[in-house]
Chain A
Amino acid sequence: MKRRTLLATAAIGLGLGLAGAAQAQDKTKACFVYVGPIGDGGWTYQHDQGRLAVIEAFGDKVETAYQESVPEGADAERVLTQMALSGCDIIFTTSFGYMDPTNNVAAKFPNVKFEHATGYKREHPNVATYNARFYEGRAVMGTIAGRMTKSNKIGYIGSFPIPEVVQGINSSFIHARKVNPDVTISVVWAYTWFDPAKEADAAKALIEQGVDVILAHTDSTAPLAEAAKSGGKVIGFGQASDMAEYKPSPRVSSIIDNWAPYYVKRVQAVIDGTWESQDAWEGIGGGEVGIGEITDAVPAEVKAEAEAMRDAIGSGAYHPFTGPLNKQDGSAWLAAGEVADDGTLAGMNFFVEGITGDIPQ
C-alpha cells in the first residue's frame, strides 16, 4: 500500500492507473461521509440505509466505512483525504457543503471515485454528482394536500431559502391549487435543518393559523408529532424517511429518499470498471424518490388521483413544472405546455404566482 506516492506525486499517479485494477482483485471499499448522526431519523439515516443496501447487495465483495457528523469545510477535506488514503475506492459525500472539499480531494486522488450529493461542481473526471428530484414527490403530496384540506390552508415548514426547498414549496402549491383553486399556502422558515422543538413550534403556529395540512422540509418527525396531537384534524407527510410510526394519520403518505438503488448501481460500476463521471438527477422514475404508502385516512378517489400523478411523473409522461405558469410577480415563466429546464430548477429562487410572502434574500 504505497499510497503515499499517489498523493505526493499526484500527476504521476495518473500513470499508475494499474492501482485500480490491482484493487479490483480484493474487496471494493465504499466510504460514506455523513453530515449528521445516523440517529437523526431523516437525511443521514436514509443515506446509511443506502450503505446497508450496498452491503446487502454485494456481501463479501465490498467493505464499507463511514464517518458521522462531519462539519463542512476543512474537517470534511481531512476526512475525505483520510478515507482516500486508507483505500476507499468510491466515496459518497452526502451534503451540499462538501462540494468544494470533494473536488479538492478528488484532484489529489485520480484513482478514487467521488460522488457528491446535491451539488453541481464536477471539476475532475473522477467526480460525479447526484441528487433526487424531491419536487416530484412534492407534486404528489400537493395533490393530496389540496384535496384533503378543509380550511383551504396548507402550511410548509422550510429550512433555509435554498433552491431545493423553493422547488418543493412551488411544486406543492402548484399541485394543491390545481385540484383546489381556493388553496393558500403559509410558509414558515425555521432557519435550521434540525431542531425538533422549533419544528414542533412551527407546526403548532401553523395549526393555530387554521392550517390543516402540513408539509415539512426539515429533518425530524416533530411536525408529525405535533399534528398527531390535533386528534385527526391535521395531517402531514413523512419527510426523507417513511416515518411509518405516525401511520395512518397524521402521516398519510411520505416522500422517501431512497439512495439504495443509486449506491448499488455506482458501486457495481466501480467493481466492473465502468464508472464514469455524470450528473444524476433521478426522481420517482429512477426510484430515488419513493412515495410511502398512502393510508386509508385518504379517501379512495384521492388516493387514486395521487397514485395516478405518481405514475405519470414516474413514467415521464408528466413534468411537475409544466406551463402555463407565472412567477409570483405575475410575469410569465413557462408558456402552455412548456417544461422547466433543469438549469432553472436547480437554481430556483422565486415563488410561482399565487404564493404570498417573500423568499428571504
Chain B
Amino acid sequence: MLRLERRPTPSRFWQYGTPVVAVVLTMIAGGLLFALLGKDPFAVIRTIFWDPLFGEFAWYLRGQLLVKAGPLILIAIGLALGFRAGIWNIGAEGQYVMGAVIGASVGLAAYPTESRLIYPAMVLAGAFGGWIWAMIPAILKTRFNTNEILVSLMLVYVAETILAKAATGFLRNPEGAGFPGSRSFSSYKAASNPELIAGSGLHWGGVAALVTAGLVYVLLQRHILGFQIKLAGQAPRAARFHGVNPTRLVVFCMGISGALAGLAGLFEVSGPAGQISIDFNSGYGFTAIIVAFLGRLNPLGIVLAGLLMALTYVGGEMAATNIGLPSAAIQVFQGMLLFFLLGVDVLSNYRIRFLLFVKEAR
C-alpha cells in the first residue's frame, strides 16, 4: 500500500518540480474534458498556455497578463501575511470595492481641477477605504472575539450595495443623462492611472504589486515582525511567550491586507476599469485567496502564481472566442489546475513509500 512519510525538511527539488507536474496533469485531464466537448484538445491547450505568451498577438497579450495579474498579486500578498499568522481575511473583495469607491470619491470631488496632488490623495484614500473596511472585522475580532472570516465575508455584500448606490447615486456622472456609472477617469488626467509605457500593460497598480512583493519578502525574511507573524501562525502559544501581542498582530495583518486590497481597487478603477459602475468588481478579491495559496504564501511565489492565474484567464478567453469553448469549461479547467497544484504539493513535504511487505507497526 501507499504511505506518506513526512520529510524532515521540504524537498527543494519538489518545491520547484510540483508546479510543472501539476500543469502537465491539468493538461492531460483538461485535454480529456475538451475532447469530450468535441474540441481538439491540443489546439485548446496551445491556445490557453502558448498563444498568450508566444502566439501571433503575444505582443499585446503579454501586457494584458500584467493588467490581470496586478490586482491579484497586490491583494494576495496582503492576504498571505494574515494567512501566515492564522488570520483569515476572506472579504478582500469588499475592501477592494471600498478602496475603489472612496478613492474615486476623492478624485471626483476635485473634478475638474488639474493638480499633481490629486492622484496621490486618491491613492491614500483608496488605501484608507480598504483599511477601514478591514478594521471592522479586525476590531470586532479583538474586542468581541467575533469570527473574522464571516464578518469580512458579510461586509463584501454590504460593500457591493454601497457600490451600487455610488454608481446610481452619489458618484453618478452628472453629465451622463441619468445613466448609472461615474465620470470616466481616462478623460480626467489628474485622476487617471494610464499605462506607463504604451502597450506594456504596466500601470501604477502593477508597479505597486511588484514593489510590495519585494518589501513583504524582506519583511518576512529580515524583520522581527515577519518572524512574529510566522511564529503566530505556526505556534500561537510560543508566540505569546515570545511577547507577540495578538491584538496588535490582528490589527496589523488585517490593516495591511485591507489597505493593499483597497489600493488594488483604486488602481483598477482609475486605470483599466476607468469608472465606478454597478458591476465594477469581478471577483479579484476571491481569486486572490487562491493565488495566495498557490504562491505558498510567499511573496515571490505569489507573483508567479498571479501570472499563471492571469494566463489561464487570458488564454481561456482566447479559447472561448477562437475555438468556441464554453466559458464554463474554462472555469472547470481552472478548478482542475488548482486541485492539481494543491494536490501535488504533498510531494514537497512528504515522501511516498510503497509498502508491500512491511507490517504496520503500532
Interface residues of A (CB under 8 A from B): 1, 4, 7, 31, 37, 65-75, 77-79, 81-83, 85-86, 96-97, 99-101, 104, 119-120, 160-163, 191, 343, 346-349, 360-361
Contacts and interface: CB of A to CB of B under 8 A. Distances in A.
A1 to B, nearest CB: 8
A67 B317 CA distance: 7
Interface residues of B, number: 44
Given A85-B57, A160-B168, A191-B164, A73 B178 contact: no
Contact of B60 (A31, A67, A85): A85
B321 A73 contact: no
Interface string B164-179: 1100110000001111
A78 B321 contact: no
B327 A68 contact: yes
Interface in B57-79: 57, 59-61, 64, 67-68
A134 B317 CA distance: 31
Contacts of B327: 37, 67-69
Given A97-B279, A160-B180, A86 B321 contact: yes
B268 A73 contact: yes
Given A65-B321, A67-B321, A67-B327, A72 B178 contact: no
Main secondary structure of the interface of A (DSSP, over half): mixed
A100 B64 contact: no
Given A78-B67, A160-B164, A100 B177 contact: no
A219 to B, nearest CB: 13
A163 B321 contact: no
Nearest to B184: A100
Given A78-B317, A85-B57, A191-B164, A68 B179 contact: no
B233 interface: no
B234 interface: no
B186 interface: yes
Nearest to B278: A160
Contact of A4 (B59, B169, B180): B59
B214 interface: no
Given A72-B277, A100-B275, A360-B168, A120 B186 contact: no
A191 B180 CA distance: 13
B145 interface: no
A361 B169 contact: yes
B161 A191 contact: yes
Given A65-B321, A67-B320, A191-B161, A77 B60 contact: no
23 contacts: A66-B320, A68-B327, A71-B283, A72-B282, A74-B268, A74-B272, A75-B68, A75-B317, A81-B60, A82-B57, A82-B61, A82-B318, A83-B321, A86-B57, A100-B186, A100-B274, A119-B179, A160-B164, A162-B180, A191-B161, A346-B178, A347-B179, A348-B178
Contacts of A191: 161, 164
Contact of A161 (B59, B168, B268, B324): B168
B328 A37 contact: yes
B314 interface: yes
Contacts of B178: 162-163, 346-349
Contacts of A349: 178
Contacts of B320: 66-68
10 nearest A-B pairs in the assembled complex, by CB-CB distance: A74-B272, A347-B178, A71-B282, A73-B273, A347-B177, A349-B178, A68-B327, A65-B321, A163-B178, A69-B327
B17 interface: no
B64 to A, nearest CB: 5
Contacts of A104: 186, 274
Given A73-B273, A343-B177, 20 more contacts: A71-B279, A74-B67, A75-B68, A77-B272, A82-B61, A82-B318, A97-B181, A97-B278, A100-B184, A100-B186, A120-B179, A160-B278, A163-B178, A163-B179, A191-B161, A191-B164, A346-B179, A347-B178, A360-B168, A361-B168
Nearest to B277: A97
Interface in B18-76: 56-57, 59-61, 64, 67-68
B115 interface: no
A74 B186 CA distance: 12
B322 interface: yes
B322 A73 contact: no
Interface string B80-109: 000000000000000000000000000000
B120 interface: no
B112 interface: no
B343 interface: no
